[in-house]
Amino acid sequence: MSVPPRLLFAFGAVMLVACSKGGGGDNATGASAPEGEHQPLVSFEGYVYVDAGATDYVISERVRQQILSVFPALRKSHVLVSKREVAGVKGDAFEREPVVAVDTALDARRPAVRVRYRYLTRADVSRSVEGREEVELAVLHRTRGPDARRIVRECTVLDPEDRRSESAINLDFNATIPGCKAAIQAEQAAIDAARAKLAPAPEGRGEQIPVEELTRLYLPVRVVLESPTAGAPLGVFPRYEPFNPSAAVASPVAIAMARIAPPGAATGEAPPSAAAAGAPSGTPSGAREEWEAPEEHEPLVVEPEQRQALGAAVAERIERAARDEEEGPSEPPPPKEASVSAPPAPRAPGPPRSVRHEETMGERFDSIFEQLFQMKFLAIWISLLAVIPVLVTDRKKKKPTPE
């Protein structure tokens, strides 16, 4: 049986592509492993403003919603991230700073808290990044209220008149749109002008910010793309990074040394005297040496005339107390028998679970097509297209001809 030349040519092209991708033998595994290991790290810093009495749940939800708004612009920069939300967030993952928002027009003040965070994750699919690269983007500071339609109009490609466009605005926000860049710059210029009008803050009252900063819509951020160091431990992604890693690592050691060392060893001071050690906690440190322990009182003796006046029962209590003071503390009472305790009261229901917004169907197709149309897949598509006419020609030849 003779093989058509076209089929041989197509088969050879497919084998050539397979060999070029695999590299043969041990080199195939060695070439494919570093490709996933060298995906760049994605990190940026941001902050949100909350009320002074905001709970940890409210803070973590605000931060989560803000982080989601950076990924549409990252996708336009050819950086795709699938794992975006940090699991098991604790309150100490953020840094809180008290501030006072000042409205110069109304001469009003409002206390608030600025919550800062540092976010770190790893890209699943990305363009090649050599060393360190910075991308100027932005995130959303507020997404609810009457300003949501303005965000849809300035920084999305959706219809601002459609109210459904405001449901998942974090997943549609794109800071790379030219109109959005102009809106972000105009808002930042207005905030800087309002900050220049503020008077110096009094001591001990916290940092002063203009009310325009508190109610801003967009927050410019600098996203850092950095290739990881070979062999360095990477940890779990995504996560929140501490602002002072050295202090966070050394804190358990410092706590252990503080428990072992005597008082004053860290500062080089001499340990306090016995009288100063027994001084009340409210006594100033400079007056601890002059503080003296209370004088010991003589045991109380009840005269016979007083016994009759007070009564036998009261007199016995007084004498027993005086006798116990002379003899010292008595033996501890025997342990009580174990008793069946009532079950604990049911705990109050916690805050409702947040509804996570899923990606739209258009975003999923965009990410799939961006991966399939990379250079390493084009050779496979060309080889498959070359095989199709060969198969069609052979099928026509095999059709029986009518007699």
Domain boundary assignment for the chain: 38-247
Lowest model confidence (mean pLDDT) among 96-105, 128-137, 289-298, 388-397: 289-298
CA distance 159 to 265: 67
167, 144 in Cβ contact below 8 A?
A: no
Has residue 173 got a pLDDT over 80? Answer: yes
- Answer with the residue of higher pLDDT: 367 or 170: 170
- Retrieve residue 281's tokens: 């906690």
Asked whether the bond before 210 is cis by omega within 30 degrees of 0, the reply is no
Has residue 98 got a pLDDT over 80? Answer: yes
Q: Is the pTM of this model over 0.85?
A: no
Tens of pLDDT, residue by residue over 134-152, are: 999 999 998 877 788 899 9
Q: Which pLDDT value is given to residue 369?
A: 62
Has residue 282 got a pLDDT over 50? Answer: no
Average pLDDT score over residue span 333-358: 56
Contacts of 123 (CB under 8 A, 6+ apart): 39, 40, 41, 42, 79, 80, 81, 225
Q: Which pLDDT value is given to residue 376?
A: 66
Angle (CA) 262 264 266, round 5°: 90
Query: 132-140 and 41-50: which strand pairing?
Result: unpaired
Assign 3-class secondary structure to 12-79.
HHHHHHHHHHHCCCHHHHHHHHHHHHCCCEEEEEEEEEECCCCCHHHHHHHHHHHHHCCHHHHHHCCE
- Answer with the residue of higher pLDDT: 1 or 327: 327
99 three-state secondary structure: strand
From first CA to last CA, the distance across the chain in angstroms is 24
CA distance 53 to 109: 16
- Answer with the residue of higher pLDDT: 258 or 382: 382
Determine which helix (DSSP H) or strand (DSSP E) holds 118, and give its type and residue range.
Answer: strand 108-122
Mean pLDDT (the chain) is 72
Q: Which pLDDT value is given to residue 348?
A: 63
Per cent of the chain over pLDDT 70 is: 54
Q: Which pLDDT value is given to residue 203?
A: 76
Q: Which pLDDT value is given to residue 57?
A: 92
